[in-house]
Amino acid sequence: MKRIISISLVAVAAAGIFALAQSPKEKVMETSKEKPTELTKEEIAKMTDEEWKKKLTPEQYVILRKAGTERSNGQVYKEFKAQGAGTYYCAGCNAELFSSKTKFDSHCGWPSFYDPAKAKNVKTSVDYHLGYARTEVLCKVCDGHLGHVFENELFSAFNGKTTPTKQRYCINGTVLKFVPADPKKDKEDDKSGEKKE
Ligand SMILES: [Zn+2]
């Protein structure tokens, strides 16, 4: 009897280890060297809910298509804080959304920016999901939910003042794609003296 108990204990322990090994790792922010190719308006218009589910990770789907929120201070936030210069794109449709130039440490646990890089790709609407009005931030190209925008907050990153735009775009890093800046290309851009859009 003793022997049977010890064998079954081993089996339970082994099953536990197996379950741990099988549990999906928290998805990190997608990163690529090249600017991702934007979906066309026609492609987006044709996308069904099932197709979004297939294209996105389960967490991306819940955030972008169901206005979900990622866990604060998660792996994706740690990565965001460690990233250098670069550009952030929508994980749904690859539209350009934010630049590292306006990212800052808000200590809120989610990626924060004070201005969209391409205002034409970002829109806002008021939501009442928590019972009071908040300004929701959406990708204007694919209508994906990105996060919320808050105003007139004070940050240590700005010496106790508000941001240059008085805004904080509080964005789910899970639905961003990061493309690091190319140091060579940026030097050439500086030389030409041309101002980037
Ligand atoms: Zn999008």
DSSP 38-80: PPPHHHHHH--HHHHHHHS-HHHHHHHHH---PPTT-HHHHHH
Among 28, 56, 73, CA closest to 174: 28
Among 71, 31, 39, 33, CA closest to 55: 39
φ and ψ at 180, to 5 degrees?
Answer: -60, 145
Instruction: State in Å: Cα 26 to ligand 1 middle.
Output: 22
- pLDDT tens for 138-186 read 999 999 999 999 999 999 999 999 999 999 999 999 999 999 998 777 5
Q: Does residue 190 lie in a domain region?
A: no
Segment 105-126 shows an average pLDDT of 96
Q: Give me the CATH number covering residue 118.
A: 2.170.150.20
Q: Does residue 5 lie in a domain region?
A: no
93 is catalytic: no
Q: Does residue 163 lie in a domain region?
A: yes
Structural domain span for residue 59: 32-178
Instruction: State in Å: Cα 20 to ligand 1 middle.
Output: 33
pLDDT of 192 strictly over 80: no
- In terms of pLDDT, which residue wins out, 22 or 164? 164
- In terms of pLDDT, which residue wins out, 123 or 24? 123
Alpha carbons 48 and 34: distance in angstroms, whole number:
27
pLDDT of 137 strictly over 90: yes
pLDDT class for 22, splitting at 50, 70, 90? very low
- pLDDT tens for 29-40 read 999 999 999 999
pLDDT of 4 strictly over 90: no
Q: Does residue 140 lie in a domain region?
A: yes
Alpha carbons 56 and 91: distance in angstroms, whole number:
8
Strands (E), the chain: 30-31, 86-90, 96-99, 112-113, 122-127, 134-139, 145-151, 167-171, 176-180
Quote the number of domains for the chain.
1
Question: Which pLDDT score is estimated for 104?
Answer: 97
